[in-house]
Structure 1
């Protein structure tokens, strides 16, 4: 923080508060989750999930059908973060608290997220959906769902226009 505010840093101050990278990562996720949960962002996020779930069933979206859908989605970026956190947790136990572990965790976590391996993917989805529900989505109001339906409709129109 000292470096951000005054542009210089005393090296003796950088080690006065000992906090592991894992704790800092979980703390940042928790704070981000709280911010998303208590602001309209969480409502729009869950609306996107509900619209995407409804669209996968039937491209002709209706408000009634969207309201029936769950507010979690298998393709949410939260599942990427969960796969990275799992890799980070495992690698941190093996290699201690090295900063390079964070970068390797992102690389492995991304590959897990992209390839969806059968063994671990069910665990990632379970943790991811709980995380989405508890931290990163809120029950949307009708106006949030209408905005999400309209956004997907406009996106579909643009995609169809680009095909021609």
Structure 2
């Protein structure tokens, strides 16, 4: 499988695809019309040299993903608001609201996936003296909360449809990276799992966090919590590098490391219908010349 360089995410009734500094959001409206919006996004750090520094680029990409993800979700959701609720907002206000939303989302994620497992694991200190075992219990609780959260939200109809569009996004990328013409029939035959998925990134985050927290050995509970929060950028940087390598390599060891993340994607992706696939194709074609890409692939094979 070749590396195309494009990536994306599912949104409300649509798909976002990003290629370098350009991205496109394709949304299927209630009247079945596909609306495509294409924009440029250079990210929070315009300096390309800094964005190429290993590990640092992972932190930057993580923040960019949050910002762009929230922006595209807001755009897609706007098509399904009640007319009386739709208001014209200034660009400055939209950015301010988005910043607040991202900040709140991050705080909730930290509380649920970092603080709750940490303080819950302290209960076991009454019976277990080994700090290593306590850390492992904390890690198991964190993974259980994550899987439980995904299983819970997947029961919601709207979220299940987002997971179907997530499958469409992966299938479109897999289709062209395997050198196939981008059409509904070929996309349907392609896999709904992909090694460069955000779900795999989150899995690597969980594993790297477990490994690094094993080395945090201090008596103060507050300091232990602070240090767990302090390593988040480090964890994001390492996880990104592993994910990046996985997306560009077919090495046996790398593929083996990618397996758990691909398994997790069975929870966050679902088989899309043909209309969803058409939306994914529209998003790809707005930012990526897949015909030229496939032509280059075939020339390289000769």
Do Structure 1 and Structure 2 share a fold, with TM-score over 0.5?
A: yes
Query: Quick one: distance in 2 between partners of 1:91 and 1:119?
Result: 25
Q: Does 1:48 align with 2:180?
A: no
Query: Quick one: distance in 1 between partners of 2:168 and 2:232?
Result: 31
1:42-75 per-position Cα deviation (integer Å, ceiling 9, x unaligned): 0011101111111123363121111111100122
Q: 1:91 aligns with which of 212, 217, 222?
A: 212
Which deviates more, 29-38 or 50-59? 29-38
1:141 is matched with: 273
Query: Quick one: distance in 1 between partners of 2:252 and 2:190?
Result: 27
Instruction: Name stretches of at least 5 consecutive residues in structure 1 with no aligned partner.
Output: 5-13
TM-score, normalised relative to structure 2: 0.41
1:111 is matched with: 241
Q: 2:284 aligns with which of 152, 156, 160?
A: 152
Task: Tell me if structure 2 keeps the 8 A contact 1:83–1:124.
Answer: no
Greater RCO, CA 8 A, separation 6+: 1
Query: Quick one: distance in 1 between partners of 2:252 and 2:273?
Result: 36
Task: Tell me if structure 1 keeps the 8 A contact 2:196–2:243.
Answer: no
State the secondary structure of the residue aligned to 1:94. Answer: coil
Instruction: Name stretches of at least 5 consecutive residues in structure 2 with no aligned partner.
Output: 1-103, 105-114, 122-137, 218-223, 293-302
Q: 2:183 aligns with which of 62, 69, 80?
A: 62
Query: Quick one: distance in 1 between partners of 2:151 and 2:287?
Result: 27
TM-score, normalised relative to structure 1: 0.69
Higher helix residue share: 1
Query: Quick one: distance in 2 between partners of 1:143 and 1:35?
Result: 23
Query: Quick one: distance in 1 between partners of 2:262 and 2:151?
Result: 14
Query: Quick one: distance in 2 between partners of 1:60 and 1:126?
Result: 27
Please tell me the root mean square deviation across aligned C-alpha atoms, in Å: 3.2
Task: Tell me if structure 1 keeps the 8 A contact 2:175–2:182.
Answer: yes
**Residue 131 of structure 1, CA deviation:** 0.5
Q: 1:19 aligns with which of 112, 120, 125?
A: 120
Q: Does 1:131 align with 2:264?
A: yes
Q: 1:77 aligns with which of 189, 198, 212?
A: 198
1:65-122 per-position Cα deviation (integer Å, ceiling 9, x unaligned): 1111110012212222222211111122332654234333222222222344858633
Which deviates more, 105-114 or 17-26? 17-26
State the secondary structure of the residue aligned to 1:107. Answer: helix
